[in-house]
Structure 1
Amino acid sequence: MSTQTAHSKTPGGIRVGVQKVGSFMSGMVMPNIPALVAWGLFTAFFIEKGWTPNADLSTIVGPMIHYLLPLLIAYTGGFMIHDKRGGVVGSIATMGAIAGSDLLISNANAALPAGADSLGQIHMFLGAMIMGPLAAWIMKKLDGVWEGKVKAGFEMLVNMFSAGIFGFLAAVFAFYVLAPIVNSITNVLSTGVAWLVENSLLPLTSILIEPAKVFFLNNAINHGVLTPLGIAEADTTGRSVLFLLEANPGVGLGLLLAFTFFGVGAAKGSAPGAAIIQFFGGIHEVYFPYVLMKPMLLIAVVAGGMSGVAVNMIFDTGLRAPAAPGSIIAVYLQATPEVMNYVGITLAVFISAAVTFVIAAIILRASRARDLAADDQFSAAVARTQANKGKGSSVLAGLAGAQTALTKTIERVVFACDAGMGSSAMGASVLRKKFADAGLVGLNVTNKSIANLDGTADLVITQSQLTDRARQNEPSAMHVSVGAFMNAPEYDDIVDMLRAQQSGDTPASPAEEVPDSAPAENVLRPEYVRIHAGAASRDEAIAEAAAILESAGAVTSAYAAAMVERENTVSTYMGNGLAIPHGTDAAKDAVLGSALSVVRYDGGADWGDGDTATFVVGIAGKGGAHLEILSAVAQQFSDDVAVAKLTAAKTPEELYELLSGTLN
């Protein structure tokens, strides 16, 4: 057994380690995509070769790419390690790397003979990815040294000066040590490309160009090597294929199309828009984070780039000048007008896209179960659970695969919905009961709005329409999508998985108390409960629920529209014949107090998508008083026997007694 364990863990550990690095790097870059897009638009429109040249506005392009973007990435990386404090220190340190690189380039240019081409700036993206997290990590360790040892009243003084002094030292280190290292790496890459070009091994240039692009070194290679050589060639032959090596938009198109069809989560949702921006706008930077998510995709982009270069060589294609930005539009505008040149360029672009797409699709499909799992204990727990069940479970497989960053035991479970007070509260109640019945301990189950997810959850459960939004706010947690909160089959898988994870008993954590700002009998009163023999539409049922809540003084007249808006975003049908319409989080100003309305439609209320609600529970909540009774209602509707009793009640008074009796 020990031999088998050693054999399986060694390669897995290396693979997971590489994936962790790639995931962390994408985490630094992905939040800053809007800044990259903004910079790309400035470039596309306003530089000399842009769509609408503007000398004044083009002055923004250089400072953004050279200073703003690396510093944003450094701040994000530092923030991921040590919150705002780490972000600030990481940015200070990265500024030292930028200045150090500039000084080295300046000194090198000063030593060049008269008439020689000057070296261009090296943008410190790679330096930011190194120095931002590194400085933040060291700062975090230093803070731990004197934590709890500072006299009361001096904490702020120590915090401010320690970060300032360390930031100063880190910037000096980056200036003298990191900047030369990053510049050397860039020079090695540039020299390698130049050697391949000189030896007519153009397809092999993709081995360096494509990874260099992903690490934001494309400008150094493109403008430092390919552009000067291409200009010299075009001066004698009229065109050069070198302008197409880095600018081919087919590679990015193929990768982003693969994510569109075979990706998961936020990457899948954002890929179509990114493909349009990249292919037609020429902003290649938008696809780099997708590769950083899965470093194995470097194989796809390298193969795609090589195939494009090979086609260009076969057709002897070329551009008269650099395609800036590298969009399909700019490529065609810079192409010399021969028909076969256009044919070759078009084939190169689309063949490179096809090759990239096929290989990336294979990689994405092979890892669709999200093989970024980092926690061996958790993965083993899932495996034991599946073995105990005697069958596979897609939900359990998804839970195991979702462990991209989670390396701790599941303790905090959060139900999230748009408003955070209705469907999520009921779902949390159901799961608390299931955990209690299963004897699970040490679990804190709460409910929140998606907007209030704060990075502390271990497991987040949402309706399927909301999962992508929740994942953006809580990227380090596992995410489970359910169709209906009341009787979702995923609950049993979660319970089994957590039971396997808790191989031994652990001390129970204190249950989170629900605020009790008003007596429960004031939240649900007999006059708020009705029974109708006929049927109703969804909007009619919502209107009646809103009217009851308004008559109770719990909401204003504006709340009805908010309830309808919530339904248009995501259905509040819970399953077992229950719907709980309520407003969005943005409608909190229309909530004056807490109340529940309960209307039973014996003919059913058509809730759309084939769902029919028999019970419509309208919700308005302020201060949490409604959550106690809502929790009890949730437990009743998760029990088929209790639902049958509620359905058999003859009068509104009897129905009220059955509902309110659960509080006693």
Structure 2
Amino acid sequence: MKNNIQRFGKFLSAMVMPNIGALIAFGFLAALFIDTGWIPNKGFNSMVSPMLTYLIPILIASTGGRMIGGDRGRVAGAIAVIGAIMSNTEITMLMAAMVMGPLAGFCVKKFDEAMDGHMPAGFEMLINNFSVGIIGMVLAMLGYVAIGPFMSAILMILSAGVNFLVEHSVLPLVSVFVEPAKVLFLNNALNHGIFTPIATEQAAEAGKSIMYMLETNPGPGLGVLLAYMFFCKDKVTKDSAPGAVIIHLLGGIHEIYFPYILMNPVVIVAPILGNMAAILWYTITDCGLVGPASPGSIIAYLMVSPGSDLVKVLIGVVIAAGISFVVASPIVKMAGGRSLEEAQNEMASMKQAAKGETTVPGTIERSEEVKKIIFACDAGMGSSAMGATKFRNRIKNDRPDITVSNTSVDTIPADCDIAVVQTTLAARAKKAAPQAQLITIGNFLADPALDALYVQLTTGDAPAAPAGENTDILIPDTPIKKQVIVADGIRLGQKPVTKEEAIQAAGELLVKLGYVDESYVEAMQERERLVSTYMGMGVAIPHGTTQAKGTVKKTGIVFLQYPEGVDFGAEKAQLVFGIAGIGDEHLDLLGKLCTLLEDPALLETLKTTDDVDWVLEQLS
């Protein structure tokens, strides 16, 4: 049931999100030029009503038609929604557009399926164009006599319910449902599927609406992130919070704080109470926005605030953040230092266990053939955009040939080589892009799977799955603990040597411990001659070529420390990890290594310590 709701919510969001620019344009025009705006202007104000009545519903309907019926579905959807609009031009037919667009696309798709193989040669253009026109015309008539009036009635009922809540001063109670639904990634469905149509109708009559404020207030999430920033005991989680604050508050990507709640579910009380207090304040002070604040950034929130309400709107954000922070802080402080990564992994395991499986990141057989990586989230414009930007910046110097972009999980392009998605969206990504290799993560901000992906792409090495095949790997519910580094494979305080000598030493140690055949050592030297295995930050990871995989007996990693450094060309490496891998058994250690490298103090200690047991503890 929950998955069906999420798919439905995602579909609504995917129709609206590409057209957010039109909603923003409408919001700015209204905020500036209506009679109660910042600088009233009769001429510019004349654009507000047509944009709301015609442009936005047509854009949404055409997008919905294209999602199902392609370009011809787009045209049919735009034609069809005109009937619903003209049935009652006194209200905004956003909800009708969300019905007419997909319905038109569906009809076009079914017509095409029926005509497949039966299209007379030379008549394709005639039939295609006439079919779209006729389907659109029939649906427009249906929209005028049935769907438009029905949606008008639904909107009237919803608006009456909202008015009841406002008149009886119980509107703040909606936060009890809004905040948990957001954390379940239904935020776009709530905001654009329910609140925006109601708010748009109210704004058309009153010039503003509180409904625009129910889901988009950045205050509740800000309070949670600040609590983690100041009081979390786990250093990695605590250090990640300031960056999340900026992304959430200024970038408007609310999804960034959801994992922080999921790691300690009782924290959900904080945003509920924070949003409840803010809605109460907005109700008492008669606040509202003139258009949708999307994305939910403080910048967008204030830009669509009426001039007379600007200070009151800002106070509401501060109230929400303050109460959320006060409530979340003791909960976070008493949480026992549980890490964000642990919570994400546990969450992913629980969700996959419900399906009878556990998913771990896929791996790449031929990294040099990877040309396009797609980060996909629910709507394709929030957390995936942030994740794609971060990974693009990370990899551009090493692999400028790779294109990294983002999209909705249901619209992953056919030429995608690797799809990066959250674990909960894996099934949908697999259905949308069966040709792509799948990397599943817990969080776009920081995830060991992204570190492992970076390592594979930049070293050119990879274990195992056939190219072009989806590489979700099913493992038993009980995780397999495989020790790939042992005390005998750690050498500290080594004297300075050449790069070739350091690689030789690492290879010989792999041979001595029974991980590889002797021929693997030369393959390590060959790999270095082809592409440097220096990773930066004083770390090198020499390993054999792909052709030498047959000489690997078992997975193993050795660690050699050179406090004075080994010259790898542009820089010196104090830490040299020799790797021999079967499958993906060594990727957990590489992921942990990438995490360690983010802690400068720990990294420096690793370069100088003489305690083998401490090193083994850090890397195991």
Say which one has the larger Rg. Answer: 1
Q: Normalising by the residue count of structure 1, what TM-score does the alignment of the two structures yield?
A: 0.47
Q: Normalising by the residue count of structure 2, what TM-score does the alignment of the two structures yield?
A: 0.49
